[in-house]
Structure 1
Amino acid sequence: MAKITAGVATSHVPAIGAAIDLGKTQEPYWAPLFEGYEFAKQWIAEEKPDVILLVYNDHASAFSMDFVPTFAIGCAEKFEPADEGWGPRPVPTVEGHPRLASHLAQSVIQQDFDLTIVNKMDVDHGLTVPLSLMFGQPDAWPCKVIPIAVNVVLFPPPSGRRCYELGKALRKAVDSFDEDLNVQIWGTGGMSHQLQGPRAGLINQEFDKEFLEKIVNNPEELSRKPHIDYVREAGSEGIELVMWLIMRGALNPEVIEKKRFYHVPASNTAVGHLVLENKE
């Protein structure tokens, strides 16, 4: 049977993708950030997941202000890198897993989560930057990926509690799939940052570090944090952190923390990263 064995959390800052694509990873500004992902790159090469459920938010590439689903799942065979205004990133096409994705949709919808099923969409930096951080620059991504898009762009976003419970529903769905698969779930986005207005450039290290601690060791409490706390303490784009709760909800209550990394700044954003394994 399929099994979720581990979770990964990471920021998905677009400038990180540009640094990779332009060969700047060893420049003094960027080198400390990429060094923080060296453990994860070695770890995932050993773990060899068959499928990644990758939770991210679209940045007006697949969806527009005319149509923004709260939760959406990509059920296609493949997903092309999106053109975000300066051409698609030079990264491989993302290969999906339609059979598992359809099973997840069936199971999660029957658990009363209304997922939007998407059979064709391009994927932007929210999804491709995490893949690049973990796998480098391969000719093809080494595993299948199922995109799970969450609206954290247009008000109102889903609550942290709803995201946490969705993670639990996804775990139950994976457990009932009748193929032997090593599945990981990734939560992306964040950490504290604001891109506009008088608080543009806001980074709250105290909030970020507390969040990293609680999502590992007290996710139930963290799942009850209201939206306004994210906006007030972590900036308008800090709300992306609720997507990490989907990842955490899909894991066991107790996990083994393999890696924790925090770095500021990357562009105008704080970067956070976790590698968690299920504790049996």
Structure 2
Amino acid sequence: MARITAGVATSHIPALGVATDLGKTEEAYWKPAFAGYEWTKAWEAEQKPDVVILVYNDHASAFDMRVIPTFAIGCAEEFQPADEGWGPRKVPVVHGHPDLAWHIAQSLILDEFDMTIINEMDVDHGLTVPLSMMFGQPDQWPAKVIPIAVNVVTYPPPSGNRCWALGEAIARAVASFPEDLNVQVWGTGGMSHQLQGPRAGLINTEWDNRFLDRLEGNTDALRHIPHIEYLRETGSEGIEMVMWLVMRGALGRTTRALHRHYHVPASNTAVGHIVLEPITELGDTE
């Protein structure tokens, strides 16, 4: 059967994509941010995931104020890079896994999650930047991708508890898929940042690192953080971190951190990145 072997979380800062595309990753400003992903690139090359379930938020590329799904799943054969105002990124087309995606959609809906099923969707930096950070600049992405889009742009976003529960439901769906697949779940966005208003430029390093601490082990305290705490402590865009909780929920009760990276700043955002593996009750990896 299909199995979730790891969880990955990362910021999806658009400037990281620009630096990648323009060959600036070795420049003094950018090098420390990118250095923390070198371990993961080598690890991903060894792990060779068949499918990445990639949790991200759209930035008015596929959705706008006319349609605001709380949770959406992409079930298409492929997803084109979006034009976010300066032309699409010159990155590979994202190939989906429709069979697994439709299976997950069915399982989640019967598990009482009201998913929006998307059969045509361009994907923006929220999805393509994480692929660049983990896989570099290949001619073709080495894994199929199932996009899970979460509304963290327009009030009200889902709670952390609901996102964690969605991850648990995704794990049940994957475990019931009969094909032998190595599946990873990625959560993206964050960390602390605010892009506008009197608090523009806010970064809360202490809070970010506490959040990273609690992704490892067997605590589920993160699922109970209220929206107001994200807003107060991490800025208006820090709410993106609830998407990391979908990933964490999919890994089961206990996790071990394989790699962790934190850097300030990249553009006006804190860069956070962690790689987790699920642990069984007997202490073995899943």
Shorter-chain TM-score range: over 0.9
Distance 1:83 1:169 in 2: 32
Which amino acid is the alignment partner of residue 37 of structure 2?
A: Y
1:223 pairs with 2:226: no
Distance 1:264 1:164 in 2: 27
Distance 2:257 2:218 in 1: 13
Structure 1 length as normaliser, TM-score?
0.99
1:145 pairs with 2:145: yes
Paired position in structure 1 for 2:197: 197
Q: Secondary structure at the match of 1:81?
A: coil
Alpha-carbon distance change, 219 to 96 in structure 1, aligned in 2, over 3 angstroms: farther
How far does residue 255 in structure 1 lie from its aligned partner after superposition? 1.4
How far does residue 217 in structure 1 lie from its aligned partner after superposition? 2.9
Which amino acid is the alignment partner of residue 118 of structure 2?
A: V
How far does residue 254 in structure 1 lie from its aligned partner after superposition? 1.3
Paired position in structure 2 for 1:98: 98
Structure 2 length as normaliser, TM-score?
0.97
Q: Secondary structure at the match of 1:55?
A: strand
Which amino acid is the alignment partner of residue 66 of structure 2?
A: D
May I ask how many residue pairs the two structures share in their alignment? 280
1:26 pairs with 2:36: no
1:172 pairs with 2:180: no
Deviations 1:124-145 (A, max 9, x none): 0000000000000000000100
Distance 2:210 2:65 in 1: 33
Which amino acid is the alignment partner of residue 112 of structure 1?
A: E
Distance 1:18 1:262 in 2: 19
**Gaps (5+ residues) in structure 2?**
281-286
1:211 pairs with 2:215: no
CA contact (8 A) 2:75 2:96 kept: yes
How far does residue 235 in structure 1 lie from its aligned partner after superposition? 0.1
Q: Secondary structure at the match of 2:90?
A: coil
Deviations 1:51-73 (A, max 9, x none): 00000000000001111100000
CA contact (8 A) 1:97 1:146 kept: yes
Which amino acid is the alignment partner of residue 220 of structure 2?
A: E
How far does residue 215 in structure 1 lie from its aligned partner after superposition? 1.9
Q: Secondary structure at the match of 1:217?
A: coil
Distance 2:255 2:211 in 1: 16
1:11 pairs with 2:11: yes
Deviations 1:167-223 (A, max 9, x none): 000000000001000000000000000000000000000110011011223541110
Distance 2:122 2:216 in 1: 32
Distance 1:57 1:219 in 2: 25
Which amino acid is the alignment partner of residue 6 of structure 1?
A: A
CA contact (8 A) 1:219 1:248 kept: no
Distance 1:217 1:264 in 2: 25
Distance 2:2 2:266 in 1: 36
Q: Secondary structure at the match of 1:59?
A: coil
Q: Which structure 2 residues correspond to residues 29-44 of structure 1 after superposition, within 5 A?
A: 29-44=29-44
The Cα RMSD (Å) is: 0.7
Distance 2:219 2:47 in 1: 25
Distance 1:176 1:241 in 2: 28
In the TM superposition, structure 1's runs of 4+ consecutive aligned residues that sit over 3 Å from their partners are none
CA contact (8 A) 2:79 2:94 kept: yes
1:232 pairs with 2:232: yes
Distance 1:229 1:42 in 2: 36
Which amino acid is the alignment partner of residue 73 of structure 1?
A: I
Paired position in structure 2 for 1:51: 51
Distance 1:231 1:139 in 2: 39
Distance 1:271 1:33 in 2: 7
Q: Which structure 2 residues correspond to residues 72-151 of structure 1 after superposition, within 5 A?
A: 72-151=72-151
Which amino acid is the alignment partner of residue 189 of structure 2?
A: G
Distance 1:277 1:101 in 2: 22
